[in-house]
Amino acid sequence: MALAEHTIRRGEVSIRDLSKSYTIAGRRLSVLKGLNLDIRPGECLVIAGASGSGKTTLLRVLAGLETADGGGVEIDGRLVSGVGTDRAVIFQEPRLLPWLTVLGNVAFGLEVRGEDRARAEARARDCIALVGLGDFADAYPRQLSGGMAQRVGIARALTVQPEILLLDEPLGALDAMTKITMQEELARIWSEENVTMVMVTHDLEEAIYLADRVLILPKEKGRAARLIDIDLPRPRVRSESRFVRYRQELLREFGLH
């Protein structure tokens, strides 16, 4: 798959003619069909769409957890063929190891890669501080709230210093107030770490708050995906008139307004 010649930078993603389908009860179901997209280095792209539109499938292909039927994905000019250290995935459930402390959970990924324990723990402490849990390094998962546990999952992903963060509805299980706080934290961490971030969400306000661009995947496979630029200054104010207009635009895209 030859891509157009251009300057390749760290964390750049090129998706070309990407298709993916599944066989269910003997019937072929197309989930993604001929998707083309460039994700800019350091941007936050949010993927939205109705259930069954292929949001999580696309994220899993980017992560190397699924193989495309056709087309492919390149990161910094290299074809994706399986998982890699340039990407880290954050799921809706943080999946912490209950027998390890916060520090142990966050350092775990580095240690299994052969990193010296002292260095792994030093890096882990930096990431724990980044997500605002410096006082909880010795706590166990059972002692954490849902929002705190998700912060640990984010810190764990950041320890390996990925070029790209892939997030699959990471805030979907949180209560409304905690979700708003975590959205603000994600925006801050993304800005400070300067990573490319690709996030799946069903929450349209969350998409507007976090995204540089929103990719809307169609449920009807004959329709093209749509990209919407979110041209708002940061930090974003949810009550600001342009924010409200973007929300109305997204609602119309889904036939909800």
Segment 233-247, tens digit of pLDDT: 999 999 999 999 999
- Distance between CA 154 and CA 141 in Å, rounded? 14
Each residue's pLDDT tens digit, 78-122: 999 899 889 999 988 889 999 999 999 999 989 988 899 999 999
- Distance between CA 219 and CA 3 in Å, rounded? 28
- Distance between CA 85 and CA 185 in Å, rounded? 24
Mean pLDDT of all residues in 120-128: 95
Phi first, then psi: give them for residue 15, nearest 5 degrees: -110, 125
Residue type, 72: G
**pLDDT of 6 above 50:** no
pLDDT recorded at residue 27: 86
- Distance between CA 106 and CA 125 in Å, rounded? 8
> Average pLDDT, whole number, for the chain?
91
Query: Strands 213-217, 226-229: parallel, antiparallel or unpaired by DSSP?
Result: antiparallel
pLDDT recorded at residue 50: 85
- Dihedral sign, Cα of residue 81, residue 167, residue 149, residue 184: positive
Each residue's pLDDT tens digit, 11-38: 899 999 999 998 888 888 888 999 999 9
Phi first, then psi: give them for residue 224, nearest 5 degrees: -85, 150
Say how many C-beta atoms besides its own lie within 10 A of residue 204's C-beta: 21
pLDDT recorded at residue 7: 45
Each residue's pLDDT tens digit, 46-70: 999 888 889 999 999 999 999 999 9
**pLDDT of 3 above 60:** no
Each residue's pLDDT tens digit, 156-169: 999 989 999 999 99
CATH number of 8-86+164-257: 3.40.50.300
**pLDDT of 5 above 80:** no
pLDDT band at 173 (very low <50, low <70, confident <90, very high): confident
pLDDT recorded at residue 255: 72
State the span(s) of the chain assigned CATH 3.40.50.300. 8-86+164-257
Q: What is the pTM of this model?
A: 0.90
Mean pLDDT of all residues in 243-257: 88
